[in-house]
Amino acid sequence: MKNKPEQNLHVRLSECQLKWREGRIIDLPTITLARGESLGVMGPSGCGKSTWLRWLLGVTQPYVKVTGDIIIANHSLVQRPIEESGIGLVMQEQALFPHYNVVENLMFALAQQKLSRSKQRELIAENLASIGLPDYQQRMPHQLSGGERARIALLRAVLAKPELILLDEPFNGLDQARRQQVCQWTYQFLREQGVAAIVVSHDENDLTLAHHRLQWPQAQQEQRNEALS
Amino acid sequence: MKFRSYFVTTFLAALLLLPWLLSLTGLSAKLPLGSAALWAYPGILSATLQTLAVGLFATLLSTVLASLILFAEQHKPSKLWALTFTAPHLAFAVAFLWLFTPFGWFDRLLPGPWAWLEQQSLITLTLILIIKETPFLVVLGRQQLLQLPYQQWLMQGRSLASSHWHSWWLLVFPPWLRAMRLLLIAVAIYSVGVVDIATLAGPLNPPLLGPLLVSWQQQFDPLSRELAAQGLWLLLALTMIAVGWLYAQEKLIWQIARWRLARVRKSRTSGREIGLITFVKGLRWLLFAATLASGLALVALSVGNGWFHPALVAQQWSWQAAANTLERLASPLLTTLALGLVTAVLVSVALIVCREWQRARGRDYPDVVFMGALLVPQTALVLAWLQTDWLPFSALSAAGSWWLTLYAHAWFAFAYAYLSYAPAERAVTQAHLTTGRSLGFSYWQSWWYFKRPALTAAIGYAFLVSFLVSIAQYVPTLLLGQGYLSTLTTELVVLSSGAELQAPAVAALLLWLLALAAILLCGNIFVALASRRVK
């Protein structure tokens, strides 16, 4: 990946190693992202991409040991709980809380911004209109199409004002035509919002619009001492 | 050979629907209106209010505790709950009363702090119910939780800067409560209509409505019969109130959650919340210790002679008196064992047939259809059966009452066992069975060779649950057995009403050991079968 001038750097992930219990090892290079930039990470299903994303988020995963550092806005985030990391998450599965309607899903993200309820509603109405879904406030997630769900999920993540957003296979389950449309909208929206993002997918077509791309490396097997002797 | 749908439908209808039909025909038209004899009965208002209070408080507090425990044990569920859950409630109650009430063993050790926990009171009964219902809700609540993608919800909630604590209560708890609705209704209905534990630990003068109804039904004068017929309606009305309360509680939780969604939340779990979680984690040890202490107390009481207040230890230890009581309890023990085993076999077969019948019809009926027996107070149902004219005269004979009691045991046990078997069966694919049939095997041959191996543990568990439910049945055995049948549970209630300690302790210990033996045997047999399959 190209080096950027230090002052533009917003997210810096140092060289990182993932080591599974059974001895599988993945080494990742240093990654840097400026605001509004995105990194597309491609690799087959089950190669460890989601495990890495969860580590970035701060989820404890007892079956894998990860070494490396996450620096956002000059602060190290390793060991910080998820809720204090300033990292948002968008997943295709369970993208929204299915038991709350659209406006309630979005209000959950706005809660920490100390806005009055009416101000929250106003902001949500504006943002829904800006993504082309103005009359969707009272709809339940099951009443939305896959593309609509994906857009609202990304809007929800952005409304919480994160420093970095992780998108885990965000376009899965969408048909080909819809997938391309939602994909274009997503990258454009992230750029406009000035949020750094990491998009993980097994389909390289999902990542063509990303600023940087990383092919998930081949796993190596740990050389055990016993085997050497 | 095809799946004989008509034959199976008839079998299931006979097993599951006939009791409902009998109940409907047995309901008398004697509604307890304004001038009914029921309202003139001394203390009826107090009995009604206390019955409702026990039902609502025990259910509410058990639900709160169970939800806190599930939160605290998300990452590492404790197995202690299963051990606490399987102790027979009546046997536990006998030991608990002797240990913790005034003049009990702990009162002798540390006099004073136990004065509020009277031998028979509303608080004592509510406490025992909470101790027994909380592990039940934890064990079954965890199963319900695992059906929800709650970890993804939590992860997303936390990534939106909400603490783990808030994410749990706002995102996971409301849908979990909705998933628990049927189970909570069953618990509330049991608590409102409880008879056996209420007879031992509930208030006297007046007693709760459940024990009152049973005592009226056992009298032969017309007034008592009329009171029983009218009281049945009152119990049903209280049940409706309890169910209404649960719906209102669920609605309220949703409203609070919606209201809190938009409010500023702490992004870190506070010290007070951490303290609460630590307390809840300690609670499992406390309840386990209380259960263990109760088991040990029963052993000590069974062999201790001349153990009078304020002595901490018995004057003499001897198995002789226990052996004499055991001799007296041999017949009830055999009856309990026979009823339990036949019930467990019958229910296991019925469960398998019932699920395969749904598969063959391509329809998965809602669980509520098969759990109906848990959604009406047991006492009300049994009283309605006894009041129907449809029951053949032969059912009142010694042999008839045996079959009638067995039918009731199987019917009630079926509802509990369905709760555990249905989800496990749903998770098993029907593809192997279909492949087997395409190879020329009959439906049931194919089931036996290709599907049963995947269900061995679930069938074993259903067998165990049915057996445990059967040995704990009190009201159906007492009223339908009509004096011809005596089990360990009915004997235990009779023995506990006296002042003697040793005989009820022996009966309670026997009941406990029977349950424990069933758990160990079922566990070993089905683990062996499952491992044989793996080999």
Report the number of distinct structural domains present in chain A. Answer: 1
pLDDT single digits (tens) A25-40: 999 999 999 999 999 9
ipTM of the shown complex:
0.89
The first and second tokens of residue B300, run together, are 């000590």
In a domain? residue A141: yes
Q: Is the pLDDT of residue B235 over 80?
A: yes
Q: pLDDT category, B75, cuts 50, 70, 90?
A: confident
Q: Is the pLDDT of residue B535 over 60?
A: no
B59 near B196, Cβ under 8 Å?
no
- Which residue do the tokens 């509330």 mark? B188
Q: For residues A145-173, b (16+ Cβ closer than 10 Å) or e, as one string?
A: ebbbbbbbbbbbbbbbebbbbbbbbbbbe
pLDDT single digits (tens) A127-162: 999 898 999 999 999 999 988 999 999 999 999 999
How large a percentage of chain B has pLDDT more than 70? 97
CA B424 to chain centre: 20
Once rounded to an integer, what is the mean pLDDT over residues B202-226?
Answer: 93
Mean pLDDT of chain B: 91
Based on the number of CB atoms within 10 Å of its own CB, is A123 exposed (0-12), middle (13-18) or buried (19 or more)? Answer: middle
Min Cα separation B181/chain A (Å)? 16
| Contacts A97 to B, Cβ<8 Å | 153, 156-157, 171
Picking from B237, B232, B238, the residue whose alpha carbon sits closest to that of residue B26 is B232
In a domain? residue A1: no
Q: Helix, strand or coil for residue A139?
A: coil
Higher pLDDT, A184 or B113: A184
Q: For residues B75-97, b (16+ Cβ closer than 10 Å) or e, as one string?
A: eebbebbebbbbbbbbbbbbbbb
Once rounded to an integer, what is the mean pLDDT over residues B447-468?
Answer: 93
Q: Is the pLDDT of residue B69 over 60?
A: yes
Q: What pLDDT is attached to residue A73? A: 83
Give pairs for B100-104: CB < 8 Å, separation 24+.
B103/B309
| Contacts B262 to A, Cβ<8 Å | 104, 107-108, 110-111, 117, 120
**Smallest Cβ distance to A120: which of B171, B262, B265?**
B262
Once rounded to an integer, what is the mean pLDDT over residues B31-58?
Answer: 93
Q: Is the pLDDT of residue B103 over 70?
A: yes
* C-alpha to C-alpha distance for B516 and B513, rounded to whole angstroms: 5
Q: What pLDDT is attached to residue B534? A: 47
In a domain? residue A207: yes
- CATH at residue A176: 3.40.50.300
In chain B the domains, ranked by start, together with CATH numbers, are: 1-29+319-535 (1.10.3720.10), 31-314 (1.10.3720.10)
Amino acid at B316: Q
Q: What are phi and psi of A164, to 5 degrees?
A: -145, 140
Q: What pLDDT is attached to residue A227? A: 45
Q: pLDDT category, B327, cuts 50, 70, 90?
A: very high
Domain extent, residue A11, equals 6-228
Q: Is the pLDDT of residue A4 over 60?
A: no
Once rounded to an integer, what is the mean pLDDT over residues B11-21?
Answer: 86
Q: pLDDT category, B4, cuts 50, 70, 90?
A: low
Neighbours of A95 (CB within 10 A): 25
Q: Is the pLDDT of residue B530 over 70?
A: no
- Measured CB to CB, residues of chain B less than 8 Å from chain A are 149, 152-153, 155-164, 167, 170-171, 174-175, 258, 261-265, 267-268
Q: Is the pLDDT of residue B258 over 50?
A: yes
Q: What pLDDT is attached to residue A228? A: 44
Once rounded to an integer, what is the mean pLDDT over residues B468-479?
Answer: 96
Based on the number of CB atoms within 10 Å of its own CB, is B535 exposed (0-12), middle (13-18) or buried (19 or more)? Answer: exposed
Higher pLDDT, B272 or B58: B58
Picking from B480, B217, B461, the residue whose alpha carbon sits closest to that of residue B339 is B480
Whether the CB of A120 is below 8 Å from some CB of chain B: the reply is yes
Widest pairwise Cα distance in chain B: 74
Once rounded to an integer, what is the mean pLDDT over residues A98-118?
Answer: 93
Residue B375 has what DSSP assignment? S
Q: What pLDDT is attached to residue A179? A: 87
| Contacts B149 to A, Cβ<8 Å | 93-94
Mean pLDDT of chain A: 88
In a domain? residue A210: yes
Q: pLDDT category, B513, cuts 50, 70, 90?
A: very high
